[in-house]
A and B are shown apart, each in its own frame.
Chain A
Amino acid sequence: MSPGNWNRGTRIVALLGIAAVLTSVASAASVSEMVDSNWREQLARFFSMRDASLRFALTGSILLGLSCGLLGSFIVVRRMALVGDALSHAVLPGVAFGFLWGMTKDPVAIFIGAVIAGLMGTTVVSLLTKTTRIKADTALGLVLASFFAVGLCLLTMIQNLPTGNKSGLDKFLFGQAAALGADDIRLMAIVTVCAVSLITLFYKELLATSFDAGFAQVAGIPAEWIHHGLMLVLAAAIVIALQAVGVVLVSAMLITPAAAAYLLTDRMHRMLFLAGGFGVLAGVAGAFFSFVGRGLPTGPLMVIGASTVFTGAYLMGPRHGVVARWWRQRSRAARTERENTLKALYHVWENDGFRDVGVTLADLAQRRRETLDDALGRSRELERHGMASVSRDAVYFTPQGRRRAAEIVRNHRLWELYLTNSANIAPDHVHEDAEKIEHVLGEKTVRELERRLDYATEDPHGKPIPGPRDIHGGLATGANPREGEA
């Protein structure tokens, strides 16, 4: 495939991606229209940023999206996705205790309580795996469920207290960005700064310990400390995200943007940038729809946003994406088809003794055993690619087309000869193989084959192998006089 072709392919893929995002935005907006007829007014309020609570919600979403995306990248490449999930559920009893401490929703008390509970959870997990035969996944599941259960009971008890129903703690389950206050934002900013500095200052150490912990440790990098540092900042990032995303889904904000980024790049630093960007995008989208949709829970909307980004990456990724792969496969198949037509034209021409006239469509159809219409369609396809010109009932090679046709025939016959001579395969077995190889044989391999076959001029079936002169100059009987018309 030529580079120009590929660029056009990626451009189309990119356009499709933008279209998909736009339609999803439009359809999501229409959902809120049904929920609330005042969505236009809400939209105007959103973009004017008049409400302080909206500004807090947006800032908070950006901060949590950034910290979750960055830390999530390391969680994904360290295969710690389950740890993130367990940690996020394990913090819930800490949230309740933080509230009970002063009987108010003091962000700092709740933050400290939650981080302590989360770290206790991970400690229990590592104790279980070290002292018993229980493996990490089981230990994580165990801790996740039991801590979460305790948290739910405590939360329900608080709701039943006289002042409890105003506590706003129910927001911790499914998340409500609109509930964020100035103190929450300050805390989120501090944690995000910590996460960003940890990753920029210790990028090298994080990279080395994530890729090969044993090697890093031998080289004198304090792998244990790096791990504990990452876990501490991770716990903090989960806790600040809790109020906006909710306990149930916060791990998705760690994993999904990072997983999408992982599909799109092969370098860690690019993955960090992408994941951070996707996290912010998902956070803002969640806050936006939650606001426009008046009280829809923010967490699920953010996660839907992140999952949409992931789906986009899965489908539209330039290298590993489904669409790009399908596109590459399709263009390869189309090129093979064109080359087979060229080959058929060449065969007819060769059988005619390379006479200076075009190949009739009837002959081409006969050769390929198909209808005249099919033959005409194939010829027009060649014409579109500058390989041939079609006039009335005959097809003529362009110089480029004739060269490629001779190359394909040469590749085919060379490969047949190679298989028969060097691999001792019977001549009647080699055709099928050569049919596939002829399209992918590079010039370097061809040179090598020619050398090994001692510049043979005939294939095992006695047909002449086109040489460099046939390909680059005119063929044995002289140039095709009609080629000038192309």
Chain B
Amino acid sequence: MTVAANGAIPLEIHDLTVAYHKKPVLWGVDLEVPAGQLIGIIGPNGAGKSTLIKACMGLLPIQSGWVKVFGQSLKDAPTRVGYVPQRESVDWDFPVNVMDVVLMGRYGRLGLMRRPGKADREIARECLDRVKLLPYANRQISNLSGGQQQRVFLARALAQQADLYFMDEPFAGVDAATETAIVTVMEELRDQGKTLLVVHHDLPTARSYFDSLLLLNMNVVAFGPTESVFTAEILQKTYGGRLTILSEVASTLAAEEGGNPLRR
């Protein structure tokens, strides 16, 4: 079941403007995202990266413009969109265990008032296995490390069996093992023809992780294959006059020859 078969563009954004208290955060964003790609969204703090994906999913009011998911409005295609929110967005003392959270990925497909059944539990178990958390299925979620919590969110998104995924900083504050596990799962999804948009903070890894990059600063500065948009001029345009980041970018590009990109 590839996305291409159905022909529609996974995500189409036209003239999108989003404002907080009348101050625009995103301004006239136009975007057409091709299918089967792993796309990183990068830009400085306050550039509207999280705002963009939240607006796409209808979690924030839109000032103007529209968003289409596989040629439909999101309301008509909720089962085709998967979401990995920021880890800090929920209360990890909530009285549920790992399995309960992953099963929530199935809720959207069940419809109102229907309970998850045996098949849903089987899918949830498979998803937990893919992020190597199956042994923790019955653990209360507060007894997990930060990286494990992030993988629980990833497993929940996998259980959604969506075609277009939005991920909000999945690598923030996770251990190296989790980072590798997340990258592996993301690449598997991409190879299955799914489309992933990932908000990312770390410039050097952005280059190796993503097929395409969306450079954002209130507006789309550039969108295209990583090798063609990860250039000094475009990064400078995105990050503006922020000297610290500029020097960091410079050292990143300089390190390219050394083969040892610096990590922030």
Question: Which A residues are CB-close (under 8 A) to B83?
Answer: 214-215, 218-219
CA distance A267 to B85 in the complex (A): 22
CA distance A216 to B81 in the complex (A): 12
Name A201's closest neighbour in chain B (CB-CB).
B113
Return A203 CB to nearest CB of chain B, in Å: 8
Q: Given A201-B113, A211-B101, does the pair A79, B91 have CB atoms closer than 8 Å? A: yes
Return A456 CB to nearest CB of chain B, in Å: 30
Asked if residues A207 and B97 are in contact (CB atoms below 8 Å), the reply is no
Asked if residues B107 and A219 are in contact (CB atoms below 8 Å), the reply is yes
Q: Given A204-B107, A220-B78, A266-B140, does the pair A215, B156 have CB atoms closer than 8 Å? A: yes
Name B113's closest neighbour in chain A (CB-CB).
A201
A77, A218, A262, most chain B CB atoms within 10 A: A218
A interface, size bucket? 20 to 34
Asked if residues B79 and A266 are in contact (CB atoms below 8 Å), the reply is no
**Is there a chain B Cβ closer than 8 Å to A205's Cβ?**
yes
Asked if residues A221 and B107 are in contact (CB atoms below 8 Å), the reply is yes
Asked if residues B96 and A207 are in contact (CB atoms below 8 Å), the reply is yes
Asked if residues B89 and A266 are in contact (CB atoms below 8 Å), the reply is no
**Is there a chain B Cβ closer than 8 Å to A217's Cβ?**
yes
Asked if residues A202 and B85 are in contact (CB atoms below 8 Å), the reply is no
Instruction: Find residues 213-249 in chain A having any chain B CB closer than 8 Å to their own CB.
Output: 214-222
**Is there a chain B Cβ closer than 8 Å to A212's Cβ?**
yes
CA distance A268 to B74 in the complex (A): 30
Asked if residues A218 and B95 are in contact (CB atoms below 8 Å), the reply is no
Asked if residues A218 and B112 are in contact (CB atoms below 8 Å), the reply is no
Asked if residues A212 and B85 are in contact (CB atoms below 8 Å), the reply is yes
Asked if residues A218 and B97 are in contact (CB atoms below 8 Å), the reply is no
**Is there a chain B Cβ closer than 8 Å to A61's Cβ?**
no
CA distance A208 to B104 in the complex (A): 6
Instruction: Find residues 62-100 in chain B having any chain A CB closer than 8 Å to their own CB.
Output: 74-75, 78-79, 81, 83, 85, 89-91, 94-97, 100
Question: Which A residues are CB-close (under 8 A) to B115?
Answer: 203-204
Return A132 CB to nearest CB of chain B, in Å: 11
Asked if residues B108 and A220 are in contact (CB atoms below 8 Å), the reply is yes
Question: Which A residues are CB-close (under 8 A) to B89?
Answer: 212, 214
Question: Which B residues are CB-close (under 8 A) to A265?
Answer: 95
Asked if residues B97 and A266 are in contact (CB atoms below 8 Å), the reply is yes
**Is there a chain B Cβ closer than 8 Å to A210's Cβ?**
yes
Question: Which B residues are CB-close (under 8 A) to A218?
Answer: 57-59, 74, 78, 81, 83, 108, 166
CA distance A26 to B144 in the complex (A): 44
CA distance A208 to B107 in the complex (A): 8
Question: Which B residues are CB-close (under 8 A) to A268?
Answer: 94-96, 100
Return A19 CB to nearest CB of chain B, in Å: 28
**Is there a chain B Cβ closer than 8 Å to A64's Cβ?**
no
Question: Which listed residue (A79, A214, A220) contacts B85, Cβ 8 A?
Answer: A214
Question: Which B residues are CB-close (under 8 A) to A271?
Answer: 95
Asked if residues B91 and A267 are in contact (CB atoms below 8 Å), the reply is no
Q: Given A79-B91, A211-B90, A212-B85, does the pair A217, B107 have CB atoms closer than 8 Å? A: no
Asked if residues A212 and B104 are in contact (CB atoms below 8 Å), the reply is yes
State how many residues of chain B have any CB contact under 8 Å with chain A. Answer: 34
Question: Which listed residue (A77, A203, A207, A222) contacts B104, Cβ 8 A?
Answer: A207
Asked if residues B79 and A220 are in contact (CB atoms below 8 Å), the reply is yes
Q: Given A208-B107, A211-B90, A211-B96, does the pair A217, B85 have CB atoms closer than 8 Å? A: no
Asked if residues A207 and B100 are in contact (CB atoms below 8 Å), the reply is yes
Return B181 CB to nearest CB of chain A, in Å: 20
Return B114 CB to nearest CB of chain A, in Å: 8
B89, B91, B95, most chain A CB atoms within 10 A: B95
Name A73's closest neighbour in chain B (CB-CB).
B95
Q: Given A202-B112, A217-B58, does the pair A211, B85 have CB atoms closer than 8 Å? A: no
CA distance A442 to B158 in the complex (A): 36
Question: Which A residues are CB-close (under 8 A) to B54?
Answer: 214
Asked if residues B112 and A215 are in contact (CB atoms below 8 Å), the reply is no
A202, A204, A205, A216, most chain B CB atoms within 10 A: A204
**Is there a chain A Cβ closer than 8 Å to B160's Cβ?**
yes
Asked if residues B107 and A211 are in contact (CB atoms below 8 Å), the reply is no
Name B56's closest neighbour in chain A (CB-CB).
A218
Return B19 CB to nearest CB of chain A, in Å: 14
**Is there a chain A Cβ closer than 8 Å to B110's Cβ?**
yes
Instruction: Find residues 170-192 in chain B having any chain A CB closer than 8 Å to their own CB.
Output: none
Question: Which A residues are CB-close (under 8 A) to B108?
Answer: 218-221
Question: Which A residues are CB-close (under 8 A) to B114?
Answer: 204
CA distance A77 to B91 in the complex (A): 9
Name B105's closest neighbour in chain A (CB-CB).
A219
Instruction: Encode B14-58 as 1/0 by CB contact (under 8 A) with A.
Output: 000000000000000000000000000000000000000010011
Asked if residues B58 and A267 are in contact (CB atoms below 8 Å), the reply is no
Name A270's closest neighbour in chain B (CB-CB).
B95
Question: Which A residues are CB-close (under 8 A) to B81?
Answer: 218
CA distance A160 to B108 in the complex (A): 56
Question: Which listed residue (A204, A215, A216, A270) contacts B110, Cβ 8 A?
Answer: A204
Question: Which listed residue (B75, B90, B140) contacts A212, Cβ 8 A?
Answer: B90
**Is there a chain A Cβ closer than 8 Å to B116's Cβ?**
yes
Asked if residues B107 and A216 are in contact (CB atoms below 8 Å), the reply is yes
CA distance A434 to B204 in the complex (A): 42
CA distance A406 to B235 in the complex (A): 64
Question: Which A residues are CB-close (under 8 A) to B96?
Answer: 207, 211, 266-268
Asked if residues A211 and B94 are in contact (CB atoms below 8 Å), the reply is yes
CA distance A442 to B112 in the complex (A): 48
Name A203's closest neighbour in chain B (CB-CB).
B115
Return A449 CB to nearest CB of chain B, in Å: 22
Name A271's closest neighbour in chain B (CB-CB).
B95
Question: Which A residues are CB-close (under 8 A) to B107?
Answer: 204-205, 208, 216, 219, 221
Instruction: Find residues 116-147 in chain B having any chain A CB closer than 8 Å to their own CB.
Output: 116, 140
Asked if residues B78 and A267 are in contact (CB atoms below 8 Å), the reply is no
Question: Which A residues are CB-close (under 8 A) to B104?
Answer: 207-208, 211-212, 215-216, 219
CA distance A265 to B51 in the complex (A): 36
Can you sample 24 A-B contacts with CB below 8 Å?
A77-B94, A77-B95, A201-B113, A202-B113, A204-B114, A205-B107, A207-B96, A208-B107, A210-B94, A211-B90, A211-B96, A212-B85, A212-B90, A214-B89, A215-B156, A218-B59, A218-B83, A218-B166, A219-B78, A219-B79, A219-B105, A220-B79, A267-B95, A271-B95
> What 6 A-B pairs are tightest by C-beta distance, nearest first?
A220-B78, A219-B108, A266-B140, A218-B83, A220-B108, A218-B57
Given contact pairs A77-B94, A79-B91, A268-B100, enumerate 12 new A-B contacts (beta carbons under 8 Å): A204-B113, A207-B100, A210-B94, A211-B90, A211-B94, A219-B79, A219-B108, A221-B108, A262-B95, A265-B95, A266-B96, A267-B100
